[in-house]
Amino acid sequence: MIGRRTAWWHAGVRRGRPSARVRVAAAAAVLYTVAIPASWSAEAAPAAGAPSASDPSAASYAFAAGAQNVDGATGTTDAPRLEVGKTYRSSLSKGATVYYSFDLGADSNTYVSATAVPGKGAKLSVTDGIRVSVQNADSNSCSYQSASFGAARSPHPVTAWGARTASPANPVCKGAGTYYVVVERVGMADSSPGPWDLELTAVSEPPVNKAGPTNAPKVWDSASPTPVTGAPKASQGGAGYSRATAVGQGVWRADISPGQTLFYKVPVDWGRQLSATAELGTASGGGHGYAVDALDLTLYNPVRAHVEDTSVGYDGQQQSVSLAPVPPVAYANRYAVGDQLSGMRFAGSYYLVLHLSKGVADEFGHGPFGLTLRVRLGGTAQDGPGYAGPSVPRNVFEVTDEDRENAAAGGAAGGNAAMTAVAVGGIGAGTVVLAVLGVWTVSARRRAGA
């Protein structure tokens, strides 16, 4: 039996010469096959295990493309071995504690992050969240940190991190060997029973060639900077760390809906000082009431480690929220106490994550609401500490010219580059199509003449 496409193909042939309709259709088929970049299909297709867009409870978080699925174990004996530099996707059931393992060398610092993503319709309590710790083979903790959803109890991605550092100040976790990452779901008495998705990453920081100061800088400009002014440029935030929109110093304009989380990344060189202010515009539909912790602004460093967060309530009138001052990026900041100081320990892309509470919709409608992000970079770029090798993955702790270009354009440069690639591919594909059709037509005419 001839299939529908094959039958259609035969229907267009007459006296050995393809009809105009068939030639055009064939050209379109070849053009589609050749011109559409492979990355388009990879971007459009959901990752394995990705929530369906038709599922109303599916969280709107863009997991890293190509993230490998892995199931956490209930104990260390069966803990799956993960590789530094890769991104993984897992899940965390209510009341669960899951284990993963890494084989680490003696000299590098390794940072592990876990991002928990509950479904949009998940019920949460104020204390719901995750706890991440790194342990050695003797159950000694190298580090631990917790992250919760806050008073608004609005489902959104939250990230906690752990570290195994080769610092002399942490002798318990020195040396090569197997280390375990433990991820716990905490504070879940009143939460929904459904599992949360997890995104796991691990980054390795190489040692430095020459030891420097082992004390954090004591003097730095801690005055609150004046927010950047000027006409805003459109720059819509991404839906995850891997899709974060690059922005630099300037005023950026976006839209945000209740329950939505936007991710931006700001390339910050050694010696530069980052500050940011977010403003939520007035509610166009009116409304009365008050939403607690309506707009959250969180800063994460290049390994997705928490630096600081802040939030503001909303009564329908414009509101702004600013990060507290952080020190200029310096290697020695790691010896300071507290995330706000120690988190500014290396150069690279820092993440600004904004979440608008779903409770805003109850009081002021579903929006979207206008959002303005003001980013300032103070200080002067300096040389880095002089690493003895590359990071894993590469270029995590540096700012490239491409990073600066994309940030200056608010992410538009990357999009323009992609469209240029499509255009070039399309031109190349069109040339191929014309050549194929030319050969085909000449051959068909010869057959017809014979």
Is 145 within 8 Å of 132 (Cβ atoms)? yes
Residue 422's SS3 state is helix
Least confident of 184-188, 210-214, 303-307, 435-439: 435-439
Confidence check: pLDDT of 437 > 80: no
Q: How far apart are CA 47 and CA 66, in angstroms?
A: 7
Is 255 within 8 Å of 332 (Cβ atoms)? no
Q: With bands split at pLDDT 50, 70 and 90, how would you rate the model's confidence at 341?
A: very high
- For helices 401-408 and 412-449, the axis angle rounded to 10 degrees is 100
Q: How far apart are CA 342 and CA 344, in angstroms?
A: 5
Confidence check: pLDDT of 363 > 50: yes
* Neighbouring residues of 53: CB distance < 8 A, sequence distance ≥ 6: 46
How much is the average pLDDT of 359-381?
95
pLDDT at 211: 84
Least confident of 37-41, 376-380, 391-395: 37-41
CA neighbor of 122 nearest in space, from 183, 195, 52: 195
Instruction: Calculate the dihedral angle through the C-alpha atoms of 227, 233, 237, 243, rounding to the nearest 10 degrees.
Output: -120
pLDDT tens, position by position, 263-309: 999 999 999 999 999 999 999 876 679 999 999 999 999 999 999 99
Q: What are phi and psi of 414, to 5 degrees?
A: -65, -40
Q: How far apart are CA 80 and CA 68, in angstroms?
A: 12
Q: How far apart are CA 266 and CA 328, in angstroms?
A: 14
Is 219 within 8 Å of 167 (Cβ atoms)? no
pLDDT at 28: 36
Task: Please tell me the pTM assigned to this model.
Answer: 0.80
pLDDT at 31: 34
Q: How many other C-beta atoms lie within 10 A of the C-beta of residue 40?
A: 12
Q: With bands split at pLDDT 50, 70 and 90, how would you rate the model's confidence at 324?
A: very high
pLDDT at 406: 94
Q: How far apart are CA 196 and CA 89, in angstroms?
A: 11
pLDDT at 391: 97
- Residue 436 or residue 157, greater confidence: 157
Strands 177-186 and 348-356: unpaired
pLDDT tens, position by position, 54-91: 333 334 899 999 999 999 999 999 999 999 999 999 99
CA distances from 319 to 97, 103, 132, 280 (A): 39, 47, 33, 5
pLDDT at 188: 72
Provide, for the chain, the percentages of residues in helix, strand and coil under a 3-state DSSP scheme, each rounded to the nearest 5: 20, 35, 45
Is 179 within 8 Å of 105 (Cβ atoms)? no
Q: How many other C-beta atoms lie within 10 A of the C-beta of residue 441?
A: 13
Instruction: For the chain, give the mean pLDDT.
Output: 82
Strands 250-256 and 233-234: parallel
pLDDT at 448: 46
- Residue holding tokens 């949360």? 196
List, in sequence order, every residue forming a beta bridge with 145; answer none if it has no partner. 132
- Residue holding tokens 């085909």? 440
For the chain, the farthest-separated pair of C-alpha atoms sits apart, in whole angstroms, at: 91
End-to-end CA distance of the chain: 31
Radius of gyration of the chain (CA): 26
Confidence check: pLDDT of 170 > 80: no
405: burial class by Cβ within 10 Å (0-12, 13-18, 19+)?
Answer: middle
pLDDT tens, position by position, 121-142: 899 988 899 999 999 999 999 9
Name all domains of the chain by residue range, CATH numbers in brackets. Answer: 57-204 (2.60.120.380), 216-415 (2.60.120.680)
pLDDT tens, position by position, 382-431: 999 999 999 999 999 999 999 999 999 997 754 433 333 333 334 344 44
Is 158 within 8 Å of 262 (Cβ atoms)? no
Enter the DSSP assignment of 150.
T
